[in-house]
Amino acid sequence: MRLSPALILPLLVAAAAPAASAQDLHVGLQAGRLTYKEDGFDPFKSGGWTLSLGTRLAPQLALEARVGRGTSTGQAEVMGLPMTIRVDRWYGAFLRGFVPVADTGISAYGLIGATRGKMAYTVMGQPDADTDSDVSWGIGAELPVTPQLSVTLEWARLFTGATYRVDQLSGGLNWKF
């Protein structure tokens, strides 16, 4: 059974509302590589960024809203025809669970949530677009630099269609208020 992001997003936001306070908020900016992979074809790679706003629900659990945008277009030949594809934009809501790594200050984390995204593509000069949504997941690590600033490295499966998937490998900064 495929979970609908239209159902998941409001539930995640409603769960966080009572727990949010100004001192638990954080904002993040990540930049990285998006990979669009379709069955039977070489992957398309392009750049992208993600902006996040989140709150801690518990010491080891956060809720985040994320928006992102592709910054470049991947190009390839598909069955001898020139094709471009761009993961245009996406948005989603995630739960992020943390596990401290010994006494290093580093935390490993896992993500689960829902993302809706739009892809723009051109085949033989003819533009088209597609929108999809799916359950999203990922893994990452966060290293505090100061009490307010941390550095992240993350891989996430943003969304999956019937024959393709979109992944993001990114690094970024989080600022805690």
Residue 64 included in any domain: yes
Higher pLDDT, 74 or 136: 136
Q: Which two tokens stand for residue 153?
A: 């490295």
Residue 111 included in any domain: yes
Full-prediction pTM beyond 0.85? Answer: no
Residue 163 included in any domain: yes
pLDDT per residue over 126-149, tens digit each? 899 988 899 999 999 999 999 999
In whole angstroms, give the CA distance from residue 114 to residue 134. Answer: 6
Helices (H), the chain: 5-16
Residue 22 included in any domain: no
CATH for 62: 2.40.160.20
Can you give the pLDDT at residue 18? 52
The continuous run of DSSP H or E covering 166 comes out as strand 164-176
In whole angstroms, give the CA distance from residue 30 to residue 11. Answer: 25
**Is 159 a residue whose pLDDT tops 60?**
yes
Question: Residues 6 or more apart from 24 whose CB is under 8 A from it?
Answer: 55, 56
**Average of per-residue pLDDT across 56-73:** 93
Residue 24 included in any domain: no
Domain that residue 57 falls in: 5-17+30-176
Residue 144 included in any domain: yes
Residue 99 included in any domain: yes
pLDDT per residue over 29-43, tens digit each? 999 999 988 887 888
Mean pLDDT of the chain: 86
In whole angstroms, give the CA distance from residue 82 to residue 89. Answer: 22
Radius of gyration of the chain (CA): 17
- Number of structural domains (the chain) is 1
Size (the chain), residues = 177
Higher pLDDT, 97 or 43: 97
In whole angstroms, give the CA distance from residue 80 to residue 83. Answer: 9
Reference 36, options 162, 159, 133; nearest CA is 159
Residue 119 included in any domain: yes
